[in-house]
Amino acid sequence: MILSLLGAFVLPPRATDLGRTSFQTLLIPISRPTYKIANAIRAHFQAQPSEDTRSARTIEQENLGLKQQIQRMSAEIEQLEQRAGERASLGGFETYCTRFEVTAADSDNRDGLAIAGSGIGAVRVDQPVLSSGVVIDLIGRITSVGALAARVRLITDAGFTVTGHFKSYSAAGGFQENKDLGAIVIGRGGGQMLIDNLWINSVRDAHVQVGDWVVLSDETWPRALQGVRIGRVASIQPLPKQSLFADIRLAPEENLMHLNDVWVMTHQP
């Protein structure tokens, strides 16, 4: 109560509004689609004449279109909420990273990138490399460093191996992780990854679905990176010639060979 009185009568408005402004800024990605939905509904009804002379068929079609628009926007909000939750769960490890520009794709038909920048002197072999988007993904390791540039081997490169576990999201239940189902992710080249070490029945019992994420769970990588996304489940089928095992294909969030810049973990937490 005392704090409320101080905020109302003693402290200047700019002091009490500071926290609110920061919080509202964080909610912009979610509030913007909501605002669009409200405006769409308002415009739909305000645009109608006082005496509606439209046919029942026209009204039905317009209502269907409005319903589809609301459904699309609702899906966007759910995706943004998922991304916000993922972003919050990462713990700010990006403060240990340095951003570098991607200068070229690998020239020897491998999944790799060349990077350069003013901080290249701090780059070392085996340092983790991450995407620089709103939500951070593990994308590879440094394999060689020169005076002006360094080479990144991407997780999709043939033979690249890392372990992880599955993580799903739903609006009703939020994030759900299955740490008991350990997945060995292997790069196949051409931007693809696969998991083939799991029994198909175990995958089904765990309710792993297309769209779920595989996140890092590998002691050979820094502790701060555990739980970072590796790839999204693109398909689940019985493994050819070994149908008791699952053939799970993964896809990264975006084409890793087309990135403009990346983060390298140049400092350990």
Smallest Cα–Cα separation from 262: which of 87, 117, 110? 117
- CA 88 centroid distance within chain: 12
pLDDT at 16: 40
pLDDT at 74: 67
Domains in the chain: ranges and CATH: 2-89 (no CATH), 92-269 (2.40.10.340)
User: Angle of helix 13-26 relative to helix 28-46, nearest 10 degrees?
Assistant: 80
Split the chain (269 residues) into runs of 10 and give each run's mean pLDDT. Answer: 43 43 44 59 59 72 80 66 49 77 84 92 94 84 94 96 89 74 94 95 93 93 91 94 94 90 88
pLDDT at 263: 92
Structure tokens at 102: 């991607």
Helix, strand, coil shares of the chain as percentages rounded to 5? Answer: 35, 35, 30
Structure tokens at 150: 């360094």
Q: What is the pTM of this model?
A: 0.66
pLDDT at 14: 46
Burial (Cβ within 10 Å: 0-12, 13-18, ≥19) of residue 235: exposed
pLDDT at 135: 72
